[in-house]
Amino acid sequence: MLALCTGNSCRSQLLHGYLAEALGKWAAVYSAGWKYTASTRAVRVMAEDGVDISGHASNHVDEYASVPFDCVVTVCDHANEVCPVFPSLAQKRHHNFPDPARATGSEEETMAQFRAVRNQVKAYAQDFVREAF
């Protein structure tokens, strides 16, 4: 399973964290993007919810070009538009989440945006797991 986003710094990392926690016994979960730098805020909001993604690295999508994924989930419209063709019969899913990295305002307001997106991603991940299993 691959969570794919333009940046691989927030949204795909959040989904990666929730799906790895839920599917760890049944599926390998990865995340990737094109422009990559890990977000410390994403790590913080996941830790608040009891999920540790501090060991996640931002990976370039090309690193996974030959992996036969069963499912690729794009989490932003840009990734959905430019998603590479994977050499497999991967099921493709898409859900556009707001980009919390674009949040403005005070640190408290920015973190509120990260938490809101985290909660949306968590709900999506829970629905995904219910549908898949």
* Residue 83: active-site member: yes
* Residue 71: active-site member: no
How far apart (Å, rounded) are the C-alpha atoms in residues 42 and 114?
A: 7
Annotated catalytic residue within 2, 3, 4, 5? 5
- CA 2 remoteness from chain centre: 8
Residue found under tokens 């599917």:
23
Annotated catalytic residue within 38, 71, 83, 129? 83
Sequence-distant (6+) residues with CB within 8 A of 114 are 10, 41, 42, 44, 45, 100, 103
Annotated catalytic residue within 76, 79, 103, 121? 76
* Residue 5: active-site member: yes
Residue found under tokens 């556009």:
96
Catalytic positions are 5, 76, 83
